[in-house]
Amino acid sequence: MHKHPFDAVPRLARLALLLLLAAVLGACGRSVTSTPGDAPNLEKWVAEVKNRPAPPLDPLPVMQQFETFEYAAQALRDPFSNAFSDQSNGSGPRPDPNRRKQTLEQFPLDSLDMVGTIGSGAGLVALVMAPDKVTYRVRPGVYLGQNDGRVTAVFDDRIELVELVPDGAGGWLERPASIALEDQ
């Protein structure tokens, strides 16, 4: 027959453990439960707390008087207007707003690849592959890139062009650029 491990504990130790457990549970039960006599004490305490005077409030801070200032600079430049608008009416290169955009102007210049040429001499035509995987013929005078780039010359190994870029002061600058023949 198999004996339970709890049977090895002497009877007296089991009894002491059982009494200790009962005492602990009894103490917990007394602290949790309340007697009907505790309710008036609780109500009395709540009433005392409500009747105590509130602590005094801190005084309001003193408001400082600021010196007023009248802005009388009507003769000066308006700080919120475009400072360079007067300078932008000068002469110099400008993009033509009435010019109809060409197909290759919708692509950034660095996304266009020169893949070859057709012809020779003054009739040389460059072949340019765009990101849409279509090959276009490019001659001098054609526009490409997103900065009003106008082709100035076509060579066997490159296309040269001039772009118009804003100078930051309301004007435009001409910037030379080129597209080299892609090495296969």
The token pair at 11 is: 């009877």
DSSP string, 21-34: HHHHHHHHHHHH--
Cα–Cα distance between 159 and 139 in angstroms, integer?
A: 9
Q: What type of residue is 149?
A: G
Q: Which fold has domain 103-180?
A: SH3 type barrels. (2.30.30)
Cα–Cα distance between 3 and 35 in angstroms, integer?
A: 46
- pLDDT tens profile 51-102: 999 889 899 899 888 888 887 877 887 777 765 554 545 567 888 888 899 9
Task: Check residues 165 and 90 and name the one with the higher pLDDT.
Answer: 165
Cα angle value 126/127/129 (rounded, 5°)? 140
- Best mean pLDDT range from 56-70, 86-100, 146-160, 162-176: 146-160
Residues 6+ apart with CB under 8 A from 45: none
Domain boundaries, the chain: 103-180
Are 159 and 143 in contact, with CB atoms under 8 Å apart? no
Closest among 111, 182, 105, 120 to 151, alpha carbons compared: 105
The token pair at 91 is: 């002469």
Are 116 and 128 in contact, with CB atoms under 8 Å apart? no
- pLDDT tens profile 10-53: 788 888 888 888 888 777 655 545 566 677 889 999 999 999 99
Q: What type of residue is 103?
A: T
Q: Residue 20's pLDDT is what?
A: 85
Hey, what's the torsion of the CAs at 110, 111, 116, 120, to 10 degrees? -50
Q: Residue 106's pLDDT is what?
A: 92
Categorise residue 154: left if φ over 0, alpha if ψ from -120 to 50, beta otherwise: beta
